[in-house]
Amino acid sequence: MKKSILYITVLAIFSCNKDKNEADAFGNFEATEITISSEANGKIEFLKLEEGDLLQENALVGQIDTTQLYLNKQQLLASKNTIYSKSTNVLSQRNVLNEQLKTTLIEQKRIQNMFAESAATKRQVDEVNGKVSVLKQQMQSVETQNAPIINEVKSIEIQIEKINDQLKKSKIFNPISGTVLAKYAEPGEITAFGKPLYKIADISEMTLRIYVSETQLSKIKVGQNVSVKIDAEKDMKSYQGTISWIASSAEFTPKIIQTKEERVNLVYAVKVKVKNDGSLKIGMPAEMWIKDGD
């Protein structure tokens, strides 16, 4: 019976209107953390960053050795030039045959006109028609010889593009503007694909994740300004926050809530955006006040 009375009392305190000197919700600051990993294998030539550094988006911060990739690319380029020379010879033969065909077609038309006027024999007509047919077959044969050469060149070009992509991924570009939270590698170390290099987050604007009861939902809405407070040396330091998200379904109170009775209550998660003046840190506890209690 005593346990039941205690549970009802705590639930009433958690769900009902709070005293004006008590915060409406509590939570911790968080930020979207991104772990940057290597996209190439090899020795790290340089990695220009330290924990706490503020990096700009798309800034070049590191380089992985590309010596072997460069040599492979030069070898492929040399092979491509060699194959192109074969294609040039084949195409020169085609050009010669094409000129011969043009001359023969002119002769064919002339003999056909003469034959129509009985100035040429049927044998002459057959001979010139045979020449045209042979030249066309020879040109077709040359085109057939050139096709596999062209395909081989395309295959090498694809390999070169793959190496170009690997060369690009050997450069480490920072994806977002933010602060380096942790550094996992140093210049001179050997890295591999997928190995973490550093962690970064944009902490210029922090997110305070809090949990409110069902009775508090009617007091808040997305876009609403609220007061956020953190512990300071003498009193509490206040910030203006904006509610950016409210969960659509309830969940059990997270384990960070101290008492067992409160942890079994159903609550709604809420995110509050707060501009960071440099004092707010990831994991720092804070209070949310729907109306300033000062």
- Please give the pLDDT value at position 18: 47
Nearest-angstrom CA–CA distance, 75 and 286: 61
Residue 60 structure tokens: 């070049």
Question: 46 with 192, same domain?
Answer: yes
Residue 161's contacts (CB-CB under 8 Å, 6 or more residues apart) are none
Residues 178 and 161 in one domain: no
The model's pLDDT over 76-120, given as tens digits with 9 standing for 90+, comes to 999 988 887 777 766 777 777 788 888 888 888 888 888 888 888
The separation between CA 47 and the C-alpha centre of its own chain, rounded to angstroms, equals 20
Q: What one-character DSSP code corresponds to residue 231?
A: E
Q: Total structural domains in the chain?
A: 3
Q: Note down the domain range covering 61.
A: 36-65+171-200
Task: Please check whether residues 144 and 227 belong to one and the same domain.
Answer: no
Sheet with 60-64: strands ordered across = 171-173, 60-64, 42-47, 190-191
Tokens 């690319």 correspond to 73
Read off the CATH number of the domain in which 188 is found. Answer: 2.40.50.100
* 257/106 Cα distance (integer angstroms): 97
Tens digit of pLDDT for each residue in 194-236? 999 999 999 999 999 999 988 889 899 999 999 999 998 888 9
Question: pLDDT below 50 — which residues of the chain?
Answer: 1-18, 260, 293-294
**Which residue is listed with tokens 């933010």?**
178
Q: Are residues 77 and 140 in the same domain?
A: yes
Amino acid (one-letter) located at 294: D
* Domain co-membership, 217 together with 278: yes
In the chain, the amino acid numbered 111 is I
Residues whose CB is less than 8 angstroms from the CB of residue 162 and which lie 6 or more positions away in sequence, other chains included: none
What DSSP letter does each residue of 70-83 carry, written as one string?
HHHHHHHHHHHHHH
